Structure 1
């Protein structure tokens, strides 16, 4: 699959990340199929996309005609048979078996040339590709939240990933007006490997009672960061952040420096997932 051959892009998972990725693909002129098994999630993604585009118009970033063109490129579906695409990007939960199952199922409705890209934050691409037919077409394409705004995209090659596939995805990222960085396969890749302790150490301070979440965030912001760890976790999703930390903790053979926080686990268990649920470390209700 060459970059010029890409006409249709499928996105699996219509949550926060999947919706944002689908939006920028549609805006770039690609026929974009957004899949989710949950009809309500699809309906919410459709509304969010329209709202994001309206905000873009208000800020002078795009025109009404460009908004309508993007919406015309989008298809929302709960039918996997419609996911016959040139590139498929999965943006589902950080669970290896789920990602592998998706790609194995989609192999049946796609050709060996279809590129399977994972938006995983932490799971090695080599592990995802294991057991999937034609593992050379499996690659990492890690966007950052919010995907329709953040410029960075990590392009990760697993042990079996074809260099041509990685280059095609790099060119696709450029077409989507992103800044791709090529990365080798390792838990957390570049950004999450470096940033993990931004969250973990903040949570340790909270556990030890050094300061409350708001105080820690204010101190970090005073140091020049736009957001502190707790405000950022609420934006990303407390559950998503916890899942990534847990995955990296396991991948690094339970190195204590990656230990997930009990406080964060309690938030997840209580359903306090951040802005998307109305409550996380802060109350948004």
Structure 2
């Protein structure tokens, strides 16, 4: 199926990044968010990143202007009525995603594919909320989207092979490397990454080492480009906790229990870089 117009729902860091790479790849893109301020901020971030790319001579001014010309915005899901693909990138909460997909199922054209950027929630459960489960799929981008090459393409139980191949080809057109993943809690990336971060938090909680020293061990000893606690702040501690809870509930295994310190920070509103305080403080 030919994909010409894409809606991206959610104008946060992930959503605006997805919208940017889609527009750069030549697709007409509608960036959607019900919060007008978030929508304005998301569009501003895209323009800022494109300007920086021009300054670094990765693209030229004409490329930047052409990308922005292919990008429009909307605060209503009704704008999905003529889209071929919708990529949802809202908060990692099943109730919120359920509401979005139920509305999209009524509004989007019958041929449209509905994709979710969820980092851990079951694709089969989301698809079951629609009358088109064979056209629902996971398309999990990595953060920051314009830089990171990986996209996990996750099939639900009823996802058709045609839907999978279409999304796989879209990912390639975006300059990404798609990896086929089956529908298990956390998929691949977060099933491995988030428990590692959780264990790093436990080492601080139990007094094994300081935040800075835990990060130093993983950077210098394991050659990680970023320490796990710095990474947790970058991802958002609320997101880390949400994924750990999905893993814990999905597998019923105590090895996935969220660290009490992680829960405490989230309750305190220390969510990481986006709030100015997590395991580190930010200006």
Output the TM-score relative to the length of structure 2: 0.96
1:177 Cα deviation after fit: 0.3
- Corresponding position of 1:229: 228
Q: Deviations over 1:124-165 (max 9, x none)?
A: 211111131110000010001001110000001110000110
Q: Is 1:29 the equivalent of 2:29? A: no
- Corresponding position of 1:75: 72
1:197 Cα deviation after fit: 2.3
1:23 Cα deviation after fit: 0.7
Q: Deviations over 1:90-135 (max 9, x none)?
A: 1112222221211110122222210000111111211111131110
- Corresponding position of 1:64: 61
- Corresponding position of 1:245: 244
Bigger Cα displacement from structure 2, 229-238 vs 269-278? 269-278
User: Structure 1 CA distance, aligned partners of 2:129 and 2:39?
Assistant: 30
Bigger Cα displacement from structure 2, 195-204 vs 19-28? 195-204
User: Structure 1 CA distance, aligned partners of 2:186 and 2:149?
Assistant: 18
Bigger Cα displacement from structure 2, 113-122 vs 257-266? 257-266
Specify the SS of the correspondent of 2:107.
coil
User: Structure 2 CA distance, aligned partners of 1:202 and 1:143?
Assistant: 24
Select which of 259, 263, 280 maps to 2:261.
Answer: 263
1:228 Cα deviation after fit: 0.8
Counterparts in 2 of 1:8-23, with a 5 A limit? 8-23=5-20
Give ranges in structure 1 of 5+ residues lacking alignment: none
User: Structure 1 CA distance, aligned partners of 2:86 and 2:129?
Assistant: 17
Q: Is 1:177 the equivalent of 2:175? A: yes
Give ranges in structure 2 of 5+ residues lacking alignment: none
User: Structure 1 CA distance, aligned partners of 2:117 and 2:68?
Assistant: 23
1:247 Cα deviation after fit: 1.5
Select which of 44, 47, 68 maps to 1:47.
Answer: 44
Please report the RMSD computed on the Cα atoms of aligned residues, expressed in angstroms. Answer: 1.1
Q: Deviations over 1:186-242 (max 9, x none)?
A: 111111112122211101101101111111001110020001111101111121122
Q: Deviations over 1:57-111 (max 9, x none)?
A: 1222111111111111111211111122100011112222221211110122222
1:271 Cα deviation after fit: 2.1
User: Structure 1 CA distance, aligned partners of 2:188 and 2:128?
Assistant: 22
Aligned residues: 281
User: Structure 1 CA distance, aligned partners of 2:212 and 2:218?
Assistant: 10
- Corresponding position of 1:89: 87
- Corresponding position of 1:149: 147
Q: Is 1:132 the equivalent of 2:126? A: no
Output the TM-score relative to the length of structure 1: 0.96
User: Structure 1 CA distance, aligned partners of 2:44 and 2:278?
Assistant: 23
Specify the SS of the correspondent of 2:171.
helix
Specify the SS of the correspondent of 1:83.
helix
